[in-house]
Amino acid sequence: MGQSLILPGPESTESLAMALTAALPADAGGWTILLLGELGAGKSTFARAILRSLGHEGLVPSPTYTLVEPYTLPGYSVYHIDLYRVTSADELEFLGWSDLQDGLKLVEWPERVPRLLTLADIQIELRYAGEGRAADLKGLSERGSKVLAGVDWPA
Ligand SMILES: Nc1ncnc2c1ncn2[C@@H]1O[C@H](COP(=O)(O)OP(=O)(O)OP(=O)(O)O)[C@@H](O)[C@H]1O
Ligand SMILES: [Mg+2]
């Protein structure tokens, strides 16, 4: 079971991310959100909007080369992760996955490490749709499904 939305422009991607953030628990440390979709689908746009919603005001550099960009925010830590360059599932250990368990993990290109599907709470798949995008959201854990059920979906 999941939810599909049409996202005509970048603002829609941001609105969806904000609506999802509003539905997360007060402490989403320990949660994992997967952002799937091909190059340019809007994964970083989505992650950036979550970070802004949680109070981050500065830049959001791409983690493509660093793999992980950490953020210390008022509520909890957020780790923005990009696995595009990862070629082996072992690199999850390499990037110190076990040290990131206190924070909310936003993972771009989780397709690189299929095992992540079993460790995550929510999956958001972004795809090209005409000049805009579409999103399919799915709960992967019980708590993730509950949060999705409580999202006030943007029109
Ligand atoms: N709903 C949308 N409709 C049209 N354009 C969008 C939408 N959402 C985001 N974009 C635009 O798509 C472009 C690529 O976005 P973004 O960098 O977030 O993609 P990405 O999935 O992170 O790409 P990569 O795989 O390279 O990391 C940006 O110019 C962004 O403004
Ligand atoms: Mg990106």
- What band does 94 get if pLDDT is binned at 50, 70 and 90? confident
Q: For residue 82, which atom of ligand 1 is closest to its CA?
A: 27
pLDDT of residue 73: 95
Ligand 1 pocket test, pick from 6, 35, 44 with the greatest ligand atom count within 8 Å of Cβ, gives 44
Name the residue among 50, 24, 14, 16 with its Cα closest to residue 155: 16
Q: What is the percent of the chain with per-residue pLDDT over 70, rounded to a whole number?
A: 99
pLDDT of residue 89: 75
Radius of gyration in angstroms for the set of CA atoms belonging to the chain, rounded to a whole number: 14
pLDDT of residue 107: 98
Q: For residue 62, which atom of ligand 1 is closest to its CA?
A: 27
Taking all residues of the chain, what is their mean pLDDT, rounded to a whole number?
95
pLDDT per position as a tens digit, 13-67? 999 999 999 999 999 999 999 999 999 999 999 999 999 999 999 999 999 889 9
Residues 6+ apart with CB under 8 A from 3: 136, 137, 138, 148, 151, 153
pLDDT of residue 93: 86
Residue 78 reports pLDDT greater than 70: yes
Query: Ligand 1 centre from 12 Cα, in Å?
Result: 11
- What band does 95 get if pLDDT is binned at 50, 70 and 90? confident
- What band does 77 get if pLDDT is binned at 50, 70 and 90? very high
pLDDT of residue 1: 57
Residue 115, phi-psi category: left (phi > 0), alpha (psi -120 to 50), beta (remainder) = alpha
- What band does 88 get if pLDDT is binned at 50, 70 and 90? confident
In this prediction, residues 137-148 reach a mean pLDDT of 98
